Structure 1
Amino acid sequence: MRPVLVALAAVALSACAGKLEKVTRTQAAADFKCDADKLKVRGDEVYGKYHVAGCGQKGVYSAQCLMGDCSAQRLQGE
């Protein structure tokens, strides 16, 4: 039973990570006034932290999902 729970947790985390990256890309596109497909998004070693670059700009974002509602915010000074 335990291996099944571990596998389900891994799948849930990877699905959540995909949502976090998507919401980060969308927010950065709005902030940079740039097409989302022109941005490079790289996950950090810290879960939910992303480095975004494109259209001559770059920034660091923190993303989270709470009860299915995902959001990303640009971190100041990074």
Structure 2
Amino acid sequence: MANLLEFFQDWIRDNRLLVMEIIFEGIGRKTIKGRMIKFNQYENSTLIYIDDTKTVEHFMINQIDEITPVE
């Protein structure tokens, strides 16, 4: 988890564009492009700014199946 926390901190600091595959209960998977704004390690949750819709969404870490920085 410590290594993952370092990645999250770097992505937040660098305002890095990320591609995430999110699992929505009852709906399925959805691919989202956005930027991680904040990560709460105690609640295992994150705030993501979604570039396409210009909205901020709250996700639990267990909802994120895959996360990849855009090169």
Report which of the two structures shows the higher radius of gyration computed on alpha carbons.
1
Q: Which has the higher contact order (CA 8 A, sep 6+)?
A: 2
Tell me, yes or no, whether TM beats 0.5: no
Normalising by structure 1, what TM-score? 0.38
Question: Would you tell me which structure has more strand in proportion to its own residues?
Answer: 2
Normalising by structure 2, what TM-score? 0.41
